[in-house]
Copies of this chain bind each other. A is one copy, B any other.
Amino acid sequence: MTTTVLICDDHRIVREGLRQIVAGVPGVDRVETAASGEEVLARFPHERPDLILMDVRMPGLGGLEATRRLVSDNPDAKVIMLTAADDRDQVAAAVSHGARGYLLKDVSHEELCAAVAHALQGLDLVEPSLRRALAGREQLRTMPPGTQLTERELQVLTGMSQGKSNNQIGRDLYLSEDTVKTHARRLFRKLGVNDRAQAVALGFRRGLVT
């Protein structure tokens, strides 16, 4: 039985770098690469990799959404999210979306090897420096729906990030301005912000909008 690791990142350089490192891990027989979350979803059913290393920040389907869908369809999939050092929000979100663990992108060669080896043995990964960020993990998993942005709210936030007024957003979505304002108020509450500028900033930082 062969052990396969699938690497997913939109930057070829990162893919190759990871491949070089992961290929040297004892017990890893094959290393595959994918350039997008969509590709992972499409290939997983056929290739059944034992472990997936996936970047959070990707164009199109982001790492979070890709993981959520993947794990939803394939509960046995093991996903380790790769993240920059500064997006703890995304890390917490990743775990709540079904990732088995996460790694900072600036881990050393050795740490990465060890992490992959551990993950292949079925262990979940928690980077020490960010352990506290996961203290609220259970809260995230069992978080009442009231704290996740709904589709509509995300559409309104996207409109805001494009500099549109509530009225313009309403016309785009075939809604009244008052309805847009209602969604705006609700998403402000969920994000814990007071105005659209803050919402846009937080949206960018959390990767909700691009």
Contacts and interface: CB of A to CB of B under 8 A. Distances in A.
A71 interface: no
Contact of A10 (B13, B106, B112): B106
Contacts of A200: 197, 200-201, 204
Given A14-B13, A14-B14, A204-B204, A160 B197 contact: yes
Contacts of A197: 160-161, 163, 195-197, 199-200
A58 to B, nearest CB: 10
- Residue among A18, A20, A201 having the largest count of chain B Cβ atoms under 10 Å: A201
Contacts of A198: 163
Counted per complex, copies of this chain come to 2
A208 to B, nearest CB: 12
Given A13-B14, A17-B20, A86 B59 contact: yes
A109 interface: yes
Interface of A: 10-14, 16-18, 20-21, 35, 59, 82, 84-86, 105-109, 112, 160-163, 193-202, 204, 210
27 contacts: A10-B105, A11-B84, A12-B105, A12-B107, A12-B109, A13-B14, A13-B82, A13-B106, A14-B14, A14-B17, A16-B20, A16-B21, A16-B109, A17-B18, A35-B106, A59-B86, A163-B193, A163-B194, A163-B198, A163-B201, A163-B202, A195-B197, A197-B197, A197-B199, A197-B200, A200-B201, A200-B204
